[in-house]
A and B are shown apart, each in its own frame.
Chain A
Amino acid sequence: MLDHFPAADLIQVNLCADLNVKLETAYGSSFRFWRSRARLFEGYPTNLSEPPHRDCHVKSESEVVAMSIESAAFERVLSRHGRDPHALVQILRETQALMGWLPRSLLSAMARELKLTLAHVEGVAGFYRFFHTRPMGRLRVLFSDNITDRMLGSEALMADLCARLGIKPGQVSADGRVSVDQTSCTGLCDQGPALLVNHHHVITRLDAPRVAQLAELIRAEVPVPQWPADWFAIDHNIRRADVLLGMPLAPGAAIAAALARGAQAMLDDMKRSNLRGRGGAGFAAGLKWELCRNATGSIPGTAPGSTHYVVCNADEGEPGTFKDRVLLARHADEVFEGMTVAALVIGARQGLLYLRGEYRYLLEHLQAVLQRRRDQNLLGSAILGRAGFDFDIAIHVGAGAYVCGEESALIESLEGKRGTPRIRPPFPVEQGYLGQPTIVNNVETFCAASHIAAQGGAWWAGIGTHQSTGTKIHSVSGDCERPGLYEYPFGTRIDQILEDCGARDTQAVQVGGPSGVCLSAFEFDRRIAFEDVPSAGAFMVFDCTRDMFEVARNFAHFFAHESCGFCTPCRVGTALVVKRLDKLANATGGGRGSRHDLDVLFELDLLLHGTTHCGLGASACNPLRDTIIKFRPAYERRLESLHFEPGFDLDAELSIARRMTGRDDPAAHLEISP
């Protein structure tokens, strides 16, 4: 700090004044708020006050007041979770719901109560996008920023809303009323553009009139529940139903069938079904269950294998995927039933459902289903009267982190930590949640397991192809007449799906989301199956009017944003890819690409593919590589030169010095190309 330099001269003071302006521009009202609180920084000159920043945070009056008002509620949150440090993410989420943000003083108190270090608590609070360690608007609006939202005009709508509210994206309005920003895909691509309010409510099918009305409601501070109800309507859009979407099971039927068979026979049936995980990797579910069932766990200080856990991965973060949202809303019984069958097989007493923060609005519904199932004796102790078969399910709500869809990162998050993927082995089936053997399966996998329990593994194995049994739900969005869910047996051709959803003049399909594969028209005769084109469920359609370069650039921004930051190749590499693509893009760099940039992009792809800590970084360049190979002209038309081209206007770099010196001689200019 400058006051430690008694001889601080005029230059430095002037620079501080300049800094003040810069900070005010960057932080807006929250900075003005903090500057007005500057007297709380004893001994600091006024112009050195800082925006809310972790290194230099002093309790403000309003914070103190808020703390005393909310301390009773805070205490209720802590006791509800038994002051368990493993519940930190849930405690942060519920505490933030009380105040809108998480002041450092509160994090401090939390650390004390949970017997954690402040560094740990701040580290976790800083990791998840939905946690705020600086004041946010009382109303927080997040536009979904998937490419499908953009194709439906989300960028212009957000700009419109910001203009109406007089704020910039990422800023808090001067009165602290509202902040508007973007977030990764919210899983509503079939009814976008969508936005998320206060990390809780979603608004679908945005258009100009809705945005205009929304701005009015925000300005009038109308409470969210009083907004037009049809804004919050979420359609299931089931276009083609097969086993999972079309043959609902009576609650308890699958559990009864599994109990009648016995745990070992049920496991054998699972293996016979050859069901492969639906989250993307396609690991054999039966084998996973068997490994977990036989695992003893080996964390020092715990009884080996004393506890097994069943975890359902409902962190459906892959852009363009929304099948789990519908399964949870419409088929929660089958999902929970599948988890209960898994518990029977592996001997678990506790199940956890990791619900992505963006699906918070499903929580009450899911809690109600769980309660009904407890009442029906389908959860709890002695399920369906079988003594010793005790199992219950708790719901953990995430806070906006794509990487938590990776199973070991998901477990870290369940344990109240940052969602950093673990080094494997040991795999979760040996050492998962709290070091105990754990199976983590996708929502759709558990749903399928309940059908297998009810109808048998051989029946399931009879559907689909040899290596990819059963059916698969596809979340179809983008350029087609009928976006929504399409369930097909494995082995269905791409062009079949395109025809069914009413896609015309299709130039590309992104199967499995950004980390999947981009297919061009000459490949539309390929089939969805692990033998050919594997898919985690996303199916984004792009017609001939779309610019595939912009598609790849949107995905690159997504990965750079969602990188957990743990390993350098991914943290830095994804940012370098973004920088290079932005250089090529017309929008930001004025289109300054050269062939050299394409070489660099290929090198970055190789680097990320071979060196990152987990699959996020390894697959971050998939859309880039696919589009450079299959849609190369989309890149080539952006090349300004075959040689090197700087990413900025060199002559403009001398503009300030020219102005200050009044010079305009030849030496005061740098011609664009030598």
Chain B
Amino acid sequence: MTTPAPLPPLQAPRKLKLATVSLAGCFGCHMSFLDIDERLFELIEHIEFDRSPLTDIKQVGVCDIGLIEGGLCNAENVLVLREFRAHCKTLVAVGACAITGGLPAQRNHMDIGAILTDVYCTRQGLSASCRIPDDPELPLPLNQVHPIHEVVHVDYFLPGCPPSANAFWTFLNDLMAGRTPHLGHGLMHYD
């Protein structure tokens, strides 16, 4: 006679699904996120990673939270951002580039056409056959780099360049606990 396996609890606390991506960013925000170190173990008690550089899952599924690093510099960035927006209940702009365009937006003072010409056609040392790449596999650059809130609705902003590990930790804990995230003094600073 075998003992029946214990029934699972009726209301098992569901893990929150979290997806992350870096668009026109430097992965610095992701590195800072990893700086929560051993707290990652505590985190995965409560959340499950979906698409993210940490999982290498390529397609984003239905998620509770999406963290976006980086702004929009090309067509692919826009498509990925729209996918995240369509799949994530809560979308967060993480870091200076996602929030303001950041460093990549420095090119906004120049004409993208002139830049492409300079880099691929007129620069010294190029062979005569050099031309601007036109492979359909390559995403086209946007005329201007945009922060993500200009293209989709963003629910929260986690500022910093990058936001500190403690900022990530506090922010995610607030979200998991159902509190409106509030960084407050110390976690928001400008140096």
Contacts and interface: CB of A to CB of B under 8 A. Distances in A.
Q: Is B one of A's binding partners?
A: yes
B112 interface: yes
B32 interface: no
A653 B114 CA distance: 15
7 contacts: A10-B123, A15-B118, A646-B150, A657-B113, A661-B132, A665-B136, A670-B75
Interface string B47-88: 000000000000000000000000000010011001000100
B144 A647 contact: no
Interface string A511-555: 000000000000000000000000000000000000000000000
Contacts of A644: 152-153
B187 interface: no
B122 to A, nearest CB: 7
B144 A653 contact: yes
Contacts of B142: 653-654, 657
Interface centre among B82, B133, B142 (most CB of A within 10 A): B142
Nearest to B118: A11
A18 B117 CA distance: 13
List 5 tightest A-B contacts by C-beta distance, closest first: A657-B140, A644-B153, A661-B134, A653-B142, A11-B118
Contacts of B78: 650, 670
Interface in B135-155: 136, 139-144, 146, 150-153
B119 interface: yes
Given A648-B150, A657-B141, A657-B143, 15 more contacts: A10-B122, A15-B114, A18-B111, A647-B150, A653-B144, A654-B141, A654-B143, A656-B112, A658-B140, A660-B116, A660-B132, A661-B132, A663-B136, A670-B75, A670-B78
A655 B143 contact: yes
Given A14-B118, A657-B116, A667 B139 contact: yes
A652 B110 CA distance: 17
Contacts of B114: 14-15, 18
Interface centre among A10, A644, A657, A662 (most CB of B within 10 A): A657
Contacts of A658: 140
B37 to A, nearest CB: 34
B147 to A, nearest CB: 11
A661 B140 contact: yes
Contacts of B11: none
Contacts of B146: 653
B3 interface: no
Contacts of A661: 116, 132-134, 140
A506 to B, nearest CB: 38
Contacts of A9: 123-124
A658 B116 CA distance: 11
Interface in A460-505: none
A674 interface: yes
Interface of B: 75, 78-79, 82, 86, 110-114, 116-119, 122-124, 132-134, 136, 139-144, 146, 150-153
B104 to A, nearest CB: 14
Interface centre among B136, B140, B143 (most CB of A within 10 A): B140
Interface of A: 9-11, 14-15, 18, 596, 643-644, 646-648, 650, 652-663, 665, 667-668, 670, 674
B124 A674 contact: no
A63 to B, nearest CB: 29
A653 B143 contact: yes
A192 B116 CA distance: 51
Nearest to A646: B151
Contacts of A670: 75, 78-79
A93 B112 CA distance: 44
A663 B86 CA distance: 28
Contacts of B144: 653
A674 B86 contact: yes
A303 to B, nearest CB: 43
A654 B75 contact: yes
A298 to B, nearest CB: 33
A559 to B, nearest CB: 23
B27 to A, nearest CB: 24
A663 B132 CA distance: 11
Contacts of A665: 136
B69 to A, nearest CB: 20
Nearest to B110: A15
B146 to A, nearest CB: 8
A10 B118 CA distance: 8
A349 B133 CA distance: 79
Contacts of B143: 652-657
Interface centre among B75, B116, B139, B146 (most CB of A within 10 A): B75
Interface centre among B114, B117, B124 (most CB of A within 10 A): B114
A661 B121 CA distance: 12
Contacts of B111: 18, 656
Contacts of B134: 661-663
Given A9-B123, A660-B113, A643 B118 contact: no
A663 B141 CA distance: 12
A663 B112 CA distance: 15
A648 B153 CA distance: 14
A558 B158 CA distance: 32
Contact of A650 (B124, B132, B151): B151
Nearest to B121: A660
A656 B107 CA distance: 14
Nearest to B153: A644
B122 A656 contact: no
Nearest to A12: B118
Given A660-B113, A660-B116, A14 B122 contact: yes
Contacts of B118: 10-11, 14-15
Contacts of A652: 143
A647 B146 CA distance: 11
A650 to B, nearest CB: 7
Contacts of B136: 663, 665, 667-668
Contacts of B110: 15, 18
Contact of B153 (A18, A643, A653): A643
A667 B124 CA distance: 31
A657 B113 CA distance: 6
Interface centre among A653, A659, A662 (most CB of B within 10 A): A653
Contacts of B152: 644
Contact of A596 (B82, B119, B124, B153): B153
Contacts of A668: 75, 136, 140
A547 B119 CA distance: 49
B133 A10 contact: no
B140 to A, nearest CB: 4
Contacts of B86: 674
A6 to B, nearest CB: 15
Contacts of A648: 150
A11 B111 CA distance: 12
B112 A657 contact: yes
A5 to B, nearest CB: 16
A14 to B, nearest CB: 6
A657 B136 CA distance: 12
Nearest to A651: B75
A665 B134 CA distance: 10
A661 B163 CA distance: 37
Contacts of A655: 143
Nearest to B152: A644
A11 B153 CA distance: 37
A658 B136 CA distance: 11
Contact of A11 (B113, B123, B139): B123
A667 B112 CA distance: 18
A296 to B, nearest CB: 39
Interface centre among A660, A661, A663, A674 (most CB of B within 10 A): A660
A654 B116 CA distance: 13
